[in-house]
Amino acid sequence: MLSPEEYRVLREAGTEPPFSGEYVDLDEEGTYRCRACGNLLFASDAKYHSGCGWPSFFDVVSPDAVVLRKDTSHGMVRTEVLCARCGSHLGHVFTDGPKPTGLRYCMNSLALAFEPTKPDHGKRRE
Catalytic-residue membership of 106: yes
Distance CA 3, CA 13 (A): 14
At residue 73's C-alpha, the angle toward residues 14 and 19, to 5°, is: 40
Q: Which of 34, 37, 86, 106 is catalytic?
A: 106
The single-letter code of the amino acid at 45 is D
Q: What are the CA-CA distances from residue 39 to residues 34, 65, 97, 120 (Å)? A: 5, 7, 23, 23
Distance CA 3, CA 14 (A): 13
Q: Count the neighbouring beta carbons within 10 Å of the beta carbon of residue 92.
A: 21
List residues with catalytic annotation: 106
